[in-house]
Amino acid sequence: MREHRRSTPRLLTAALAAGLLAGAALTTTATAPPAAAAPQERPSVQSLDTLRDWAPRQFRIGTAVAGGGHHTSADYPEPFPNDPTYRAFLADQFSSLTAENQMKWNHIHPEPDRYDFEQADAIVDFAEQNGQVVRGHTLFWHSQNPTWLEEGDFSPEELRAILRDHVETVVGRYAGRIQQWDVANEIFDDAGQLRTQDNLWIRELGPGIVADVFRWTHEADPQAELFFNDYNVEGPNAKSDAYHALIQQLLADGVPVHGFGMQAHLGLQYGFDGRMQANLQRFDDLGLATAITEIDVRGPVGEDGQLSPELRQRQTDWYAAALEACLAVEGCRSFTIWGVLDEHSWVPGTFPGQGDALTLEGDYQRKPAYCALQETLATGTGHPGRDRRWERISPRLSCAADRG
């Protein structure tokens, strides 16, 4: 029996949201259950002050919607279903949402004969109410699979049927409502070799299953753009070369591959790959859409949980450089920050002693990295969606005064 529970969140009042966006400390909380809301009216040019307002036309600035995964064992209620301030910020700041964990296998398909769509439905509904698109994440991955799947005694034929049913059920449910799907996630290791051992599907069904999952996804939703997605592919290297070669082969075979996503989980200790634009461009040259899908920039933090001023400046520069690289490539029209507040980030739990990876303080105050993104969106050139009026009104950026 499949669950079809639905929960549609409600925005804060306009006055509260305005105070939040100005960086004011919030003292008001809301405890009423969320309710449906009409689509939010966007502000006038004179009051433009958010990332989504400054983005070029047809360019999506996004974030991951915090929920599932590590949030279920954290010392705070899951942010999206429980925090109206958080939801108001999502609605105002971003034009694209990605389910951080709520569409992964272990969350949406927890038992063999049961799908749980409650939180995924709520995200998609919320996005539509607020004029946002959704990136679906993810259908085919070696991680965060449910125990019943990883430890089940299934024949190859049964596994193939399970995968196809999952794709048809999940993608079909949101057909026409998801802009982009991360279909195949992290299928190569850093040496550019297929994950033939830790990826259940490739190990048991062979490499040809990759083409099949793209075909099934396209059949379930012909309107969605279908992506490969991975980390450590910012520049040309063994892993990104492997994707480049595989995608050319799949395209030659008529497989519906439409995009390539760079996660860009960056560590300040490793250096910034200045070839990001060139690498995005070579996938663009294949006729693909490209995207920065999961960016955060982490580093070693002090007892206060923050980077040093020097590292924060480097972080600021890297965020801006990544966005500039995307804006410079015609087909790169989506840039997603992997979260809103550091207290919700996956980074500290995965990389002990590191953090401060996102663009806002815990009270929604803007870090220099946020201001760099806003300024880059407002003053950058070269993207086909650029409206020249932004350059004339850029002094109205609130961050301009903050950064002197």
Active site residues: 186, 294
CB 257 within 8 A of CB 250: yes
Task: State how far the Cα of 305 lies from the Cα of 356, in Å rounded to an integer.
Answer: 7
CB 262 within 8 A of CB 234: yes
What token pair was written down for 117? Answer: 């769509």
Instruction: Write the CA distances from 378 to 293, 331, 383, 396, integer angstroms.
Output: 20, 19, 12, 10
**DSSP symbols for 330-357:** TTEEEEEES-SBGGG-SHHHHSTTEE--
**DSSP symbols for 298-319:** EEE--TTS---HHHHHHHHHHH
> Side-chain half-sphere of 123: how many Cα atoms within 13 Å?
29
What token pair was written down for 126? Answer: 């919320």
CB 61 within 8 A of CB 335: yes
Task: State how far the Cα of 287 lies from the Cα of 353, in Å rounded to an integer.
Answer: 41
What token pair was written down for 30? Answer: 């809301």
CB 22 within 8 A of CB 96: no
Task: State how far the Cα of 174 lies from the Cα of 120, in Å rounded to an integer.
Answer: 10
Residue 112 is classified by DSSP as T
Task: State how far the Cα of 401 lies from the Cα of 403, in Å rounded to an integer.
Answer: 5
CB 138 within 8 A of CB 185: yes
Residue 150 CB neighbours (<10 A): 13
What token pair was written down for 64? Answer: 């991951």
